[in-house]
Amino acid sequence: MEHFALWLGGFLTLGIFSFLYKDNPWYKLTEAIYVGISAGYFVVVYFWDNFYSKFWVGVFPHKRLNEAGELVAGVEPDYWLIIGGVLGLLMLMRLLPKVGWISRWPLAFIVGATAGLWLINYFASFVMVQIQNTVTPLFGADYNASLFVIVGNIVVAVGTFTGLIYFFFSKEHKGAFGSAARVGIFFLMITFGASFGYTVMSRMSLLIGRIDFLFGDWLGMIR
Amino acid sequence: MSTKAKEILALALIFAFSLIFYIGKVLGWGAVRFSTTVSLIVILLVALSLLWILILTIRGHLVERRIVFLYVGIAVALPLFMTLSQRIAISPEVEAVYNTLEGLPEGSKVLVSFDYDPPSAPELQPMAEAFLYYCFEHDLKVIMMGLWPQGPMQANMAIEKVLSDEKIKSKNLKYGEDYVNLGFQAGYEFVIQRMGSDFRSMFPTDYRGTPYEQIPLVKNVKNFSNIDYCFNLSSGFPGTREWVQIAVDRYGVTLGAGNTAVQAPQMYPFMRAGQLVGLLGGMVGAAEFEFLTKWIGKGTKFMISQSFAHVIVIAFIIIGNVAFFRSERKTGLKR
Amino acid sequence: MSSHPMTSRPLYFIILSFLFTFFPSCGGSSIALAQAEPIDIATTQMIPDSEQVVVEPVTSLIAADHKYDDGGMIDLSWVPSIDDQLVASRVIGYKVYRIEDEGEPEMISELAPGSNTYNDQSVERGKLYSYFVSTLSINAETPSVRTAPIEPQREWLNYELLNVLIMALVLGGAVIYFIETARRGKKLFVRKIAGLEAVDEAIGRATEMGRPILFIPGILDMDDVQTLAALTILGRVARIIADYDTKIFMPVSRSLVMTAGRETIKASYQAAGRPDAYSDDMVTYITDEQFGYVAAVDGIMVREKPATCFLLGAFFAESLILAETGNSVGAIQIAGTARPAQLPFFIAACDFTLIGEELFAASAYLSGEPKQMGSLKGQDVGKAIAMAAILIGILTVTIGDAWNVEWIQNITTGLVDVFSTR
Give DSSP secondary structure letters for C39-89: ---PPP-SS-GGG----PPPEEEEEEEPSSSBS--EEEEEEPPGGGGSTT-
| Distance (Å, whole) CA A117 – CA C18 | 10
Q: Which helix (H) or strand (E) holds A58?
A: helix A57-59
Give a yes or no: residue A217 inside a domain.
yes
Per the CB < 8 A criterion, the answer to whether C310 and C215 are in contact is yes
B92 in contact with chain A, both atoms CB, cutoff 8 A: no
CA distance C341 to chain B (A): 6
Interface A–C counts its CB contacts (< 8 A) at: 194
Q: How far is CA C397 from CA A77, A84, A137, B287, in A?
A: 56, 50, 5, 40
**What is the extent of the structural domain holding A174?**
137-223
- Say which of B249, B262, B265 has its CB closest to residue C421: B249
Residue B144 has a pLDDT of 97
CA distance A181 to chain C (A): 12
What does DSSP assign to residue C5?
A: G
Tell me the CATH architecture of domain B92-296. 3-Layer(aba) Sandwich (3.40)
Average pLDDT over residues C19-33: 38
Counted domains in chain A: 1
Contacts of A66 (CB under 8 A, 6+ apart): A72
Per the CB < 8 A criterion, the answer to whether A205 and B283 are in contact is yes
Q: What is the dihedral of CA B129, B133, B139, B145, to 10 degrees?
A: 0
pLDDT grade for A213, boundaries at 50, 70 and 90: very high
- pLDDT exceeds cutoff 70 at C3: no
Helix (H, G, I), strand (E, B) or coil at B114: strand
Count of all residues that appear for chain B in the document? 335
C12 in contact with chain B, both atoms CB, cutoff 8 A: no
pLDDT grade for C40, boundaries at 50, 70 and 90: very low
Domain ranges of chain B: 31-84+301-334, 92-296
Contact at CB, A125 and C421, closer than 8 angstroms: yes
- Residue spans of chain B under pLDDT 50: 333-335
Residue A116 has a pLDDT of 81
Cα B62 from chain centroid? 35
**Mean pLDDT score of chain A:** 86
Residue C90 has a pLDDT of 85
- Say which of B119, B226, B236 has its CB closest to residue C291: B119
φ, ψ for residue A46, nearest 5 deg: -65, -35
C340 in contact with chain B, both atoms CB, cutoff 8 A: yes
Residue B74 has a pLDDT of 92
- pLDDT exceeds cutoff 60 at C398: yes
* Chain C contact partners (≥3 CB pairs within 8 A): A, B
Per the CB < 8 A criterion, the answer to whether C94 and C134 are in contact is yes
Contact at CB, A160 and C390, closer than 8 angstroms: yes
Residue B32 has a pLDDT of 87
DSSP character string of B195-232: HTT-HHHH-SB-TT--BGGG-TTTTT--SGGG-SEEEE
Contact at CB, B226 and C122, closer than 8 angstroms: yes
Residues of chain C neighbouring A137 (CB-CB closer than 8 A): 394, 397-398, 401
* Chain A contact partners (≥3 CB pairs within 8 A): B, C
- Say which of A64, A121, A205 has its CB closest to residue B261: A205
φ, ψ for residue B226, nearest 5 deg: -95, 5
Q: What percent of chain C has pLDDT over 90?
A: 47
B245 in contact with chain C, both atoms CB, cutoff 8 A: no
| Distance (Å, whole) CA B165 – CA A76 | 42
* Chain B contact partners (≥3 CB pairs within 8 A): A, C
Pick the CATH number of C199-350 from 3.30.1360, 3.40.390, 3.40.50, 1.10.3470: 3.40.50
What does DSSP assign to residue B178?
A: T
Contacts of C31 (CB under 8 A, 6+ apart): C64, C65, C67, C153, C155
Per the CB < 8 A criterion, the answer to whether B66 and B253 are in contact is no
Q: Give the CA count within 13 Å in the CB-facing half-sphere of C343.
A: 21
Q: Which residue in chain A is spatially nearest to B251 when comparing CA positions?
A: A121
Residue C44 has a pLDDT of 44
Residue A68 has a pLDDT of 66
Residue B333 has a pLDDT of 47
Average pLDDT over residues C297-302: 92
ipTM score above 0.90: no
Name the pTM for this structure.
0.76
CA distance C29 to chain A (A): 25
Q: Which residue in chain C is spatially nearest to A15 when comparing CA positions?
A: C295
Residue A73 has a pLDDT of 54
Average pLDDT over residues C308-332: 92
- pLDDT exceeds cutoff 50 at C8: no
Contact at CB, B262 and A212, closer than 8 angstroms: no
> Which amino acid makes up residue B333?
L
Spatial CA neighbour of A215 closest among C127, B79, C305, B220: B79
Residues of chain A neighbouring B77 (CB-CB closer than 8 A): 211, 215
- Say which of C356, C402, C412 has its CB closest to residue A167: C356
Contacts of B38 (CB under 8 A, 6+ apart): none
| Distance (Å, whole) CA C284 – CA C278 | 13
Average pLDDT over residues A33-44: 85
Residues of chain C neighbouring B226 (CB-CB closer than 8 A): 121-122
Q: Are strands C105-111 and C93-100 parallel, antiparallel or unpaired?
A: antiparallel
Contact at CB, C287 and A35, closer than 8 angstroms: yes
Residues of chain B neighbouring A208 (CB-CB closer than 8 A): 76, 80, 122, 283, 302, 305-306, 309
| Distance (Å, whole) CA B189 – CA B148 | 11
Contact at CB, A202 and B244, closer than 8 angstroms: no
Give a yes or no: residue A119 inside a domain.
no
| Distance (Å, whole) CA C326 – CA C312 | 14
Contact at CB, C340 and B266, closer than 8 angstroms: yes
Give a yes or no: residue A24 inside a domain.
no
Average pLDDT over residues A19-25: 87
| Distance (Å, whole) CA B320 – CA B88 | 30
- pLDDT exceeds cutoff 90 at C175: yes
B238 preceded by a cis bond (ω within 30 of 0): yes
- pLDDT exceeds cutoff 80 at C2: no
Residue B255 has a pLDDT of 96
Average pLDDT over residues A21-31: 88
Binding-face residues of B in 103-122 toward C, CB within 8 A: 119
Q: Give the CA count within 13 Å in the CB-facing half-sphere of A131.
A: 28
Residues of chain A neighbouring B306 (CB-CB closer than 8 A): 201, 204-205, 208
B138 in contact with chain C, both atoms CB, cutoff 8 A: no
Domain ranges of chain C: 29-154, 199-350
Per the DSSP assignment, residues forming a β-bridge with C120 are: C74
| Distance (Å, whole) CA C221 – CA C228 | 9
Give a yes or no: residue A126 inside a domain.
no
| Distance (Å, whole) CA A195 – CA C334 | 21
Average pLDDT over residues C174-198: 89
Per-residue pLDDT tens digits for C80-115: 999 888 777 888 889 999 999 888 998 888 888 888
Residue C28 has a pLDDT of 34
| Distance (Å, whole) CA C280 – CA B213 | 52
| Distance (Å, whole) CA B184 – CA A216 | 30
Contact at CB, C72 and B119, closer than 8 angstroms: no
Q: Which residue in chain B is spatially nearest to C345 when comparing CA positions?
A: B262
Residues of chain B neighbouring A49 (CB-CB closer than 8 A): 149, 184, 186
Average pLDDT over residues A160-166: 94
Contact at CB, A19 and C298, closer than 8 angstroms: yes
Tell me the CATH architecture of domain C29-154. Sandwich (2.60)
Q: How many CB atoms are located within 10 Å of the residue A155 CB?
A: 12
Count of all residues that appear for chain C in the document? 422
- Say which of B69, B149, B273 has its CB closest to residue A129: B273
Binding-face residues of A in 77-116 toward B, CB within 8 A: none
Residue C181 has a pLDDT of 93
DSSP character string of B66-84: HHHHHHHHHHHHGGGGB--
Per the CB < 8 A criterion, the answer to whether C377 and C180 are in contact is no
Probe site for chain C from B66, B68, B237 (most C CB atoms < 10 A): B237
Contact at CB, A164 and C383, closer than 8 angstroms: yes
Residues of chain B neighbouring A20 (CB-CB closer than 8 A): 66, 69
Count of all residues that appear for chain A in the document? 223
**Mean pLDDT score of chain C:** 84
